[in-house]
Amino acid sequence: MKLVINSKNLGVKNFIKKEVEERFEKLDKYFTDDSTANVMFSEEGTSKKVEITVKVKNNVLRSEVSDIDFRTAADKAIDRIEKQLLKYKDKLKKRNNDSIRYENIGEATNVPIINIVKNKKFQLVPMTREEACFQLELLEHTFFVFQNSETKKINVVYKRNDGDYGLIEPEI
């Protein structure tokens, strides 16, 4: 697995990077060589934040943890990635994802059954990103699906924890 460690506007001590590399070496047995893990260190006020994104073929495992120091946040984030692997092992296996080595993943326990209780259909209306954000606020939802009037593609706007908006533009 390829590991990329970055930081936003700050320097992360080499010993913390080394510890993250060592922890990922233990997880390396779960992934093939074409998998990529991105680790991003950043500060939000007084808390330290670690974001980990692991890209495997058609899936993404993601973890974001804030804590008082980078070491603790990194440990928790890596633990979450490992738990995701265990939780979704069967799901990933069904999708024939050959980016993960399943024989190394322990048996998942207490895996919840996914139960879809509501199905909703609606007409997509072409609109700008700004109009979609306005619509999101009017409906008081956490996300809104719309057809981008500029690109003619389906997009999603969502409300971020910091109060700003995010835009998802799927690539097919």
pLDDT surpassing 80 at residue 11: no
**Three-state secondary-structure class, residue 30:** helix
128: confidence class by pLDDT, cuts 50, 70, 90 = very high
pLDDT surpassing 80 at residue 148: yes
Q: Supply the pLDDT for residue 8.
A: 83
Q: Could you give the CA distance from residue 26 to residue 19 in angstroms, rounded to a whole number?
A: 11
Given a contact cutoff of 8 angstroms between Cβ atoms, the answer to whether 100 and 90 are in contact is no
Mind listing the pLDDT tens digit for each residue in 70-124?
889 999 999 998 888 777 666 656 655 555 555 555 554 455 567 787 888 888 8
Mind listing the pLDDT tens digit for each residue in 56-65?
766 778 899 9
**Three-state secondary-structure class, residue 91:** helix
pLDDT surpassing 80 at residue 136: yes
Mind listing the pLDDT tens digit for each residue in 155-171?
999 998 888 999 999 98
Residue among 43, 47, 35, 1 at smallest CA distance from 20: 1
- Segment 10-30 mean pLDDT: 82
Distance in Å from the first CA to the final CA of the chain: 25
Q: Strand ranges (DSSP E) for the chain? A: 2-7, 36-44, 47-56, 59-67, 126-127, 143-148, 154-159, 165-168
Q: Supply the pLDDT for residue 172.
A: 77
Q: Supply the pLDDT for residue 99.
A: 54
Per this entry, what is the length of the chain?
Answer: 172
